[in-house]
Chains A and B, each alone.
Chain A
Amino acid sequence: MWFDTANNNNKMKNTVKFLGVFTFLSIFLLLPIRIKADATYDFYATPSINGTILTITGNGEFTALYTHFITFNADTHETECTGDYLDSTYWNLNDPVKGIAVRCGYASDQGFILVNRSNSLNDPTTLWEISDVIYADGPTRIITVTPPDLSIVATSTSRTIGYSGFLTHGDFDTNRIVFDLNNSAVALEQCADVICSTLANNQIKYHHIQPLALWGSFNFSDTINGMVQGTYYMTVTVQKGSVCVFGSCLFYNNITSTSTQFTISTTTNVDLLVKSARDKVAQLQGSADSAIFDSCKIFNFPSTFNLFDCGQTLIYWAFIPDSRAFSHTLESAKTGFLSKAPFGYVQRFYEILSATTTAPLMAMNVPIITGRNTDGTYQVATSTLFQPDEILTGAGTVLNEVKDPLSGSGLEDIFGPIIKIIVAFTVLLVIVKDVLGMPNHHQQESYRQKDI
């Protein structure tokens, strides 16, 4: 007997309890992490003013918008500065305002948008005139490099390398990013653009130039094979061209540059488990951080908080596997233990059988025997080239030409679905029979014989 009902009921209850506690703890422990997530300040803006509303739109995230309203008294020529904090992409400039300068910035208070009102000071319908705009996007910078600086990564057949950063409007001209990677402390001579080469003695150098056609965020990533153990040095440099003709420049000046290093080393099984656990925590944190939990944000009450939606989201999040993560897990199994003997052989066998590549059937020469010599050898007059693939092609043409005169459908169109249903039903039947442990006819006969 497989199932002990009472025992299983207890197990089920315990499992449900565990899942409930786990879900509760996951959400409520991770919520503060979500709230404290780092602010994105890649904010650049194109302000537009309509009446008393100033709107800033951009592809940045307005996570911390500090504004300072400076009120100008036209009569006394005095200014008054009031600070304010807004988390919205627009705000009202309350009338009457005599004159205004709006300064926006992020944490380090760099960059500002200056808006002056130039027409009649007391007319609230007058449009504000943008007299000067300085984009509040901070300095040109390299934000991330992959692998991170001073990181120790496990040996692998392939490794992702790359970077991301931001080019400001002010620095935008004929720009490019120069990316170099090598595993030698001594600088190697540069190879041609976008060439990755593995040199003798396991030396690797990678040189890539990325021209920038737009200002704003930039990123690059690539996969590099054959990286052996050791220390690797990466340099990412943002450059601005000078003396340029049609996009080609004679000289390039560095705007900013970063040099990092990482180490590839063997890892123990414990390292792998720790890394896996760390990835899972990051995954949990990422889930809690995402917008799908807006309905669970009790601090946003009553704007987005909705207990019913929150419950639905939690159940979905907890029990419905994400297809991408699921396929990633299966891929991990495929490249992991399923690629080891003996599972690897089974997997390879399946891969070969499920491949869709075709090859034309082999042609062969068939000798025509006309008689026998006195010494016993055969007399071969000639040989005929036998081409089974041509026969097959001919058969295919005949099959394809059989069509229904009314609809014009071919044999495959008509009978294909029927055959698919029959095959699918047969497969299902075999599986169901196997799962239920139903004996086949011969087994039944043998049982009957035993009983007798």
Chain B
Amino acid sequence: MIIEFTLDTIITVLNVILSWLPDATTLPQIVGADLDGSLVTAVSFLRRIMEVYWFLGIIFDGFLFLLVYYITKMVLKLFLASRLHNAGH
């Protein structure tokens, strides 16, 4: 309950503080090119290849896991960078 409570409070506060930011639920269009649609199609093709060559799928899943790790690290650094820096002094 305490961990839930703390996490929930942090996320609620972040949701409120960052509510002014624009919504970004799809990738943007760059000089008329639909980045979102193109990437979806490209990944669908890749997944088709991975469906046949199953070992590529396993490697890709490993890569995704790493990607999540680096994204999480990036977000934490963004919000806690100063805190982490100050902790050493």
Q: Is the interface of A mostly helix, strand, loop or mixed?
A: helix
Q: How far is the CB of A270 from chain B (nearest CB, A)?
A: 9
- From known contacts A318-B2, A340-B22, A358-B44, infer whether A353 and B67 are also in contact, taking CB-CB under 8 Å: yes
Q: Which residues of A contact B12 (CB under 8 A)?
A: 272-273, 276, 332
Contact A344 B23 (CB under 8 A): yes
Residues of A within 8 A of B8 (CB): 276, 280, 325, 329, 332
Please determine whether A353 and B27 come into contact, CB atoms closer than 8 angstroms. no
Residues 1-40 of chain A: 1 if any B CB is under 8 Å from the residue's CB, otherwise 0?
A: 1110000000000000001001100100000000000000
Task: Tell me whether A415 is interfacial, beta carbon within 8 Å.
Answer: yes
Inter-chain CA distance A343–B49, complex, in Å, is 29
B66 within 8 A of A: yes
Which one of B1, B13, B43, B45 contacts A317 once the chains associate, using CB atoms below 8 Å? B1
Stretch touching chain B among A60-68, A115-123, A387-395: A387-395
Say whether A329 contacts B52, CB under 8 Å: no
CB of B88 closer than 8 Å to a CB of A: yes
One digit per residue, 1 when the CB lies within 8 angstroms of any chain A CB and 0 when it does not, for chain B 22-62 equals 11111110000000100111011101110111110011011
* A58 at interface by CB-CB < 8 Å: no
User: What residues on B are CB-neighbors of A333 within 8 Å?
Assistant: 11, 14-15
The digit string for A129-154, where 1 denotes a CB below 8 A from any CB of B, is 00000000000000000000000000
Contacts of B67 in A (CB 8 A): 350, 353
CB of B44, distance to nearest CB on chain A (Å):
4
A352-B15 in contact given A19-B2, A416-B58 (Cβ < 8 Å): no
Which residues of the partner chain B approach A426 to less than 8 Å between Cβ atoms?
62
The residue from B26, B65, B88 contacting A427, defined by CB atoms under 8 A apart = B65
| Cβ–Cβ contact A360 & B4, under 8 A | no
Q: Are B16's CB and A273's CB within 8 A?
A: yes
With A280-B5, A332-B8, A332-B12 as contacts: A269 and B24 at CB distance below 8 Å: no
Q: Which residues of A contact B81 (CB under 8 A)?
A: none
Name A344-399 residues within 8 Å CB distance of B: 344-346, 348-350, 352-362, 389, 392-393, 395-396, 399
- The chain A residue sitting closest to B65, CB to CB, is A427
Give the complex CA separation of A349 and B48 in angstroms: 18
Interface residue? A419 (CB, 8 A): yes
B58, A22: Cβ atoms under 8 Å?
Answer: no
- From known contacts A329-B4, A337-B15, A340-B18, infer whether A355 and B47 are also in contact, taking CB-CB under 8 Å: yes
State the Cβ distance, A432 to closest chain B Cβ, in Å: 11
Q: Which residues of A contact B27 (CB under 8 A)?
A: 345, 348-349, 352
Min distance, Cβ B37 to any Cβ of chain A, angstroms: 10
Whether A415 pairs with B1 at a CB distance below 8 angstroms is no
Q: Is the CB of B3 within 8 A of A332?
A: no
Q: Is the CB of B45 within 8 A of A361?
A: yes
Establish whether residues B36 and A352, one from each chain, have CB atoms under 8 Å apart when the complex forms. yes
On whether the beta carbons of A430 and B40 are closer than 8 Å, the reply is no
- Mark B residues whose CB is within 8 Å of A: 1-5, 7-9, 11-19, 21-28, 36, 39-41, 43-45, 47-49, 51-55, 58-59, 61-62, 64-69, 71, 73-75, 84, 87-88
Contacts from A to B (Cβ < 8 Å): 1-3, 19, 22-23, 26, 269, 272-273, 276, 280, 284, 287, 317-322, 325-326, 329, 332-333, 336-337, 339-346, 348-350, 352-362, 389, 392-393, 395-396, 399, 412, 415-416, 419-420, 423-424, 426-427, 430-431, 434
Write 29 A-B pairs (CB below 8 A) sorted by A numbering: A2-B87, A3-B87, A272-B19, A276-B12, A280-B8, A319-B3, A325-B8, A329-B4, A329-B8, A333-B14, A333-B15, A337-B11, A340-B21, A341-B22, A345-B24, A345-B28, A350-B71, A353-B43, A354-B64, A355-B44, A355-B47, A357-B47, A359-B45, A359-B47, A360-B48, A389-B48, A392-B48, A395-B53, A419-B58
